[in-house]
Chains A and B, each alone.
Chain A
Amino acid sequence: MNDRMGAWRRRHVLGGFIGLAALGAPAILRAAPSGQPVKVGGTLSLTGFLAQTAVIHKIAAEIMIEDINSRNGFLGRPVEYVLLDDQSKPDVARSLYEKLITVDKVDLIMGPYATAPILAAMGVAQRYGKVMIQSSMGIPNLQTYDMAFPATPFGPEPDKTYPNVILDAMASLPTPPKSMVIVTSKFPSAQFMAKGMRIEAEKRGVKVPLYLEYEAGNRDFGAIAARVKEANADFLWVGSLGLESNQLLEALRKLDYTPKTSFHLYPAPGPLALSPDGNLVWCSTFLEPDEPFMSRPGMKKIAELYKERATKANLPYAIIDAQAAGMVAAWQILEAGVNGAKTLEDKQIAAWLKKNVVTTVYGPTKFDGLYNHGEPAQLIRQVQDKQWKVVWPKQFVAPGVKLIPT
């Protein structure tokens, strides 16, 4: 028994040294991928109304392809990303995925950005039996194709689970809010979450005296701000996209009103963190460049590269967050699926993903639940000294950080 244990230990120590040597060795000493490139086709909304976020995904994808190719590529072959611009239009995304599969003959596909283009691409993927990994579909129950996999841990029912994360955080405050105003964009994924928030809040005894929906791209928040001020609830929940949160908070300040505590769903992170109105606001996230996330494999290097590339691309907010991390995770899943199944055959990759756990920047990720989702991991971050800090749930909070009541 002791001999066997000793042999086991020796093998592992030796294996550990070899592994460390391989990791520490310069890239030139490792086997570089060679041969015909594996073509992975995909679209992003490089122009049009979703372009603000798609550019983040593009940078993240480029970093990941370099990263994958600096290791062993896919099955020892280099990876080539055939990227097309779907102009933020689902119909264009549909046509381009058709082209990528039938004309460009790509080996694999990568999902586009945002729910509507993803749904359009998913139909094409299903018709041709292609595995599709996507990072940004905010309404999981629309992902009905069994070979579509989410890279971002929304969980199968974020409209039920995430509101309760927020309500738990609210309950932890010294004076828990008893009433909530909900203001949301009619953008589908925001509206979906807002409806869930209303139901869950009322279930837990938090009154919702005002629920408002506005059109995506609303220009004037003056009247909405006047209604929010008049309702004067303990908590303001905003189903915002982009700069809508800044616009609403500014409109409120013009009325000399500051909400007691406010939550913002999908705002532009930089402008809200840096705004004078943004101090201590809450927001959804899955990851921030802080502990415990930075200790995840490869995260530090990816965060540094992202900052460098985003600065070079003239992005006003060059810090990695959940948007870019979603794309990073998508490529990590595809890499794990291909190299795990040891094939480019879509059905076998899908089967492998369903049976295995993939470690991504979001941590261990499973696909064995409803709509191929695993456990939800949507968190709350708060602006503290013009920086985003994860403040809830407690197990994801960095040492020395806490949820600051307003």
Chain B
Amino acid sequence: MPVLTDNVAGRAEPRPAPGGTAASPRRRWWTSRRRDQLAGLLFVTPQLVGTALFVLLPLGLVVWYSLHEWNVLADTFDFVGTDNYRELVDDPKLPGVLRSTLFFSVGLVVFNLALALLLAVLLNQRLRGTVVFRTLFFSPVVVSLVAWTIVWGFLLQDNGGVNGVAGAVGLDGPNWLRGEWTALLSVIVVQVVKNVGLNMVLFLAALQGVPAELYEAARVEGASRWTQFRRITVPLISPTILLTSIITVVGALQVFAQIAVLTQGGPGTSTTVLVYYLYQQAFQFHQFGYGSTLSVLLFLIVLTLTVVQWRMRRKWVFHEQ
């Protein structure tokens, strides 16, 4: 797992001799070390300024705002300490929102990773035509997100395509977007089908890196295909499983457009995930203070999940050595 773990300091790089051959004695102070110092700082300046201005400053501000009662329409901005956080605990809608966020994220991650792995294993069988299928499974990734969502909204109507197909095989499909559980399931499926191609491709690359001799050896010892998969494939691609799960979890917590277009968070709060709730509070009810409090909550959840998953890698990610 080289990502994030390798260190700048660990990388040996040839250092130019002090003074450099190109520098004349007259300008010896202008060494290649100084030149690198300047070049390095200049090269990273745009990214640094951007991070400071558009990431760190807003992060500080959002914490500051969360300590204020701030209604944009009424033009009030009063320091209220931790009142918003108390309101958070008492908010009667919040348990429902957190429950939806949890079910949505867990459902999305489990379904996405399982399907991605299944597709990758199927396409890794070296059958003819797999490149065509790989293209087909990946294609929703490049379809405009809102366009994709609109089409699914259309297909999931009571008299839409999904129920048309269900009816053709004698099933009476529900009105998908109007039932609490079916709406949640619909949003998950729409999102998984849209993006599973990315994880599938990462898994395919990982599967192709598993040495074939390992399977030979396992076959000689009479291991079934399922045992081979569990004992060889899964451990060897576990770094990719970790990486994709982190990307997918964080991505799940950012899902907004699909919900805004398909269900507007309903019915009830069954599909109101945290990002959508924060949007409602801040930009529909104009509560910037409380919206900021919800943003802080979202940030803490993302941070905790990332750290926990990163810690977990020591426990179950397989390392060669």
Q: Do A and B bind each other?
A: no
Residues in B lying within 8 Å of A, measured CB to CB: none
